[in-house]
Structure 1
Amino acid sequence: MISPDDTAYVTNLVKASGTSFYHGMKILPPARRDAMYAIYAFCRVVDDIADEEGRDFTSKQSELEAWRQRIAALYERAEADSPITRTLLSAIQDYQVRREDFIAIIDGMEMDAGEPIIAPSLAELDLYCDRVASAVGRLSVRVFGDASPAADEVAHALGRGLQLTNILRDVAEDAERGRIYLPGEFLAAEGVTTDPARILTAPALPQVCTRVAEMAEQNFTRANNAMALCNTKAMRPAQMMEASYRPLLDILRRRNFDYAKGRVSLPKWKKLMLAARLLAG
């Protein structure tokens, strides 16, 4: 049983993050919602470790390793020492979420904690997407109420679709941070520079982004095909996540991936409309 204080802690952490996740997960029953908030809080903390400016890789590695040990303690000895780990322990016990998926998330954050990622190979990009997004999906579908192979396929494909959309949305912000998550093979094929300081003015950047958008669309389609084989009610949060992200690809394409026009987002009214439609269905 999670204490009210621990529930309040993780809920406030999620709420303070300012993302739509806080409101999106309210469609879940309270116990499942609290489990998802615990997973989000874990992801937020390890992501903050990886992204913290001014710290060397060794110190970040040390903190991430401490989280690996905390996850091990949860599974091996049911030991928890903080609001986040106590709420995670409850999620582990109630929904049989898997240890390897927590570890994959930490491994993904470690990929971001070192030297900036610049033009990864397609294989490296796929591994990164699996760790930072699909692994979260594999935890989530179990909390949503479906642990079937089809639900894992939803997590595999939807996680990649969401992360590739994130990458396309954030090309300008990532370039400012000295990072390029667009695949090296696509950049080379179009003659686009791998210099973050110059990539936004590369004439063929839209062609590269179009190919990545096609990858994202293929993954969204795979996710939808797998959802048809899953528990309909359990898939509603996953459908909401797709509905909040997939339209961004159309906006980016209409702009021809011109990042000088600013960061794209879905209007709040449209998010609410999509949520209402899914809940009604």
Structure 2
Amino acid sequence: MTSLSVSDAQAYCTALTKKSGSNFYYSFLFLPKQRRAAMYTIYAFCKEVDNAVDEPPAGSNPQDELRRWRTELEAAYRGTPTFPVTVSLASHVKQLSIPRAYFDELIKGVEMDLVVSRYASFQDLSLYCYRVASVVGLICLHIFGPTSARAQDYAVALGMAFQLTNILRDIGTDAAQGRIYLPQDDLQKYGCTEQAILQRQESTELRTLVQFETTRAHEYYAKAQAAFDALPACDQKALTVAEIMRAVYFRILQKIEGPKYRIFGPRARLTTSRRLAVAAGVWLRSRSS
């Protein structure tokens, strides 16, 4: 067992989350202190596992890094973690009864980036989106409170919507790494070539494809809305932070849809002040309903 205290481990996770500048960070501020700490830890775990593939330590092998994280995850559930993130994680998963299987799925999803750089169909892409995004939503339900089947439907749909938004936002940066997440059969349907995307060439065909994929993302936001509307009022209020995330990401999707948006230009984002304004608006509406 590491000599690192749980409070020091939590401080590490909190600092990592703040430093990230994530769209999610400002929504976490609306959580009670203990739940906010849990969210910081979950975010830190996701970030460090992702970095094991995207930014591995010098001289290390990403597969070896993921093996280390699998070992540490097992240790966290045994109560013998050694990494700062897993020391903090161990206390939260025990208190919140978060299934280990969700974290196993997340690591499998991140691992897909090592072996898969193309997806033949949306069905294939859906598995990736589920693993890297929807399961994170399922984890978060244990922090927010509602874990019913309907709440799980909400989390899965919202995770899909978020990841599709990420994919659309990051077409250019992913292409620079040789990755194309847009389904191959959709590229063929709209007459887009891999080479055009990898060479960052905007075209009418690509914009039409992006419009099709944004419509698909809208469908998942709508599925999440339908599941949310079916929840009792107490569960809806408990999911306010998730709704803040949804509002922020939905506005990013709207930017991607804008007529002036350049697919290979700067990433679509909201300013800090805009994110805070969106968050405050959702929070106030949840408290007045």
TM-score above 0.5 = yes
Which whole-Å CA distance do the structure 2 matches of 1:54 and 1:119 have between them? 28
Which whole-Å CA distance do the structure 2 matches of 1:254 and 1:233 have between them? 31
Partner of 1:87: 88
Q: CA deviation at 1:42?
A: 0.6
Conserved? CA contact 2:134–2:159, under 8 Å: yes
- The one-letter amino acid paired with 2:24 is F
Partner of 1:9: 12
The C-alpha deviation readout for 1:153-178, integer Å capped at 9, x for no partner, is 11110000011011111111111221
Which whole-Å CA distance do the structure 1 matches of 2:240 and 2:74 have between them? 31
1:266 equivalent in alignment to 2:270: yes
Partner of 1:67: 69
Structure 2, unpaired ranges of 5+:
none
The 1:120–1:91 alpha-carbon spacing in structure 2 relative to 1, beyond 3 Å, is farther
Q: CA deviation at 1:37?
A: 0.8
- Aligned equivalent of 1:278, options 269, 274, 282: 282
Conserved? CA contact 1:206–1:256, under 8 Å: no
Which whole-Å CA distance do the structure 1 matches of 2:84 and 2:56 have between them? 25
- The one-letter amino acid paired with 1:175 is A
Secondary structure class of the residue paired with 1:27? coil
Alignment of 1:214-229 (within 5 A): 214-228=215-229, 229=231
Partner of 1:177: 177
Q: CA deviation at 1:140?
A: 0.7
Partner of 1:253: 257
Which whole-Å CA distance do the structure 2 matches of 1:28 and 1:74 have between them? 24
Q: CA deviation at 1:267?
A: 3.1
Conserved? CA contact 1:133–1:162, under 8 Å: yes
- The one-letter amino acid paired with 1:70 is E
Which whole-Å CA distance do the structure 2 matches of 1:240 and 1:135 have between them? 18
Structure 1, unpaired ranges of 5+:
none
Q: CA deviation at 1:257?
A: 5.2
Conserved? CA contact 1:206–1:257, under 8 Å: no
- The one-letter amino acid paired with 1:266 is L
Partner of 1:207: 208
Which whole-Å CA distance do the structure 2 matches of 1:54 and 1:194 have between them? 30
Conserved? CA contact 2:244–2:283, under 8 Å: no
Alignment of 1:7-86 (within 5 A): 7-52=10-55, 59-75=61-77, 77-86=78-87
The C-alpha deviation readout for 1:113-141, integer Å capped at 9, x for no partner, is 245x1344212210110011001111011
Which whole-Å CA distance do the structure 2 matches of 1:6 and 1:134 have between them? 26
Partner of 1:132: 132
- The one-letter amino acid paired with 2:262 is D
Which whole-Å CA distance do the structure 1 matches of 2:171 and 2:27 have between them? 25
CA-based RMSD of the aligned residues comes to 2.1
Conserved? CA contact 1:209–1:257, under 8 Å: no
Give the number of aligned pairs.
277
Secondary structure class of the residue paired with 2:236? coil
The C-alpha deviation readout for 1:227-278, integer Å capped at 9, x for no partner, is 2215022211110111101122222222365325432212333322221112
Q: CA deviation at 1:104?
A: 0.9
Conserved? CA contact 1:35–1:90, under 8 Å: no
Secondary structure class of the residue paired with 2:207? helix
Report the TM-score, using the length of structure 1 for normalisation. 0.91
- Aligned equivalent of 1:236, options 213, 216, 240: 240
Q: CA deviation at 1:55?
A: 7.5
- The one-letter amino acid paired with 1:277 is G
The 1:32–1:53 alpha-carbon spacing in structure 2 relative to 1, beyond 3 Å, is closer
Q: CA deviation at 1:184?
A: 0.9
Conserved? CA contact 1:125–1:183, under 8 Å: yes
- The one-letter amino acid paired with 1:107 is K
Conserved? CA contact 2:26–2:276, under 8 Å: no
Which whole-Å CA distance do the structure 2 matches of 1:243 and 1:261 have between them? 23
Partner of 2:189: 189
Conserved? CA contact 1:193–1:202, under 8 Å: no
The C-alpha deviation readout for 1:8-56, integer Å capped at 9, x for no partner, is 1111111121223333211111111111111111111110011127989
| Identical-residue share of aligned pairs (%) | 36
Q: CA deviation at 1:204?
A: 0.2
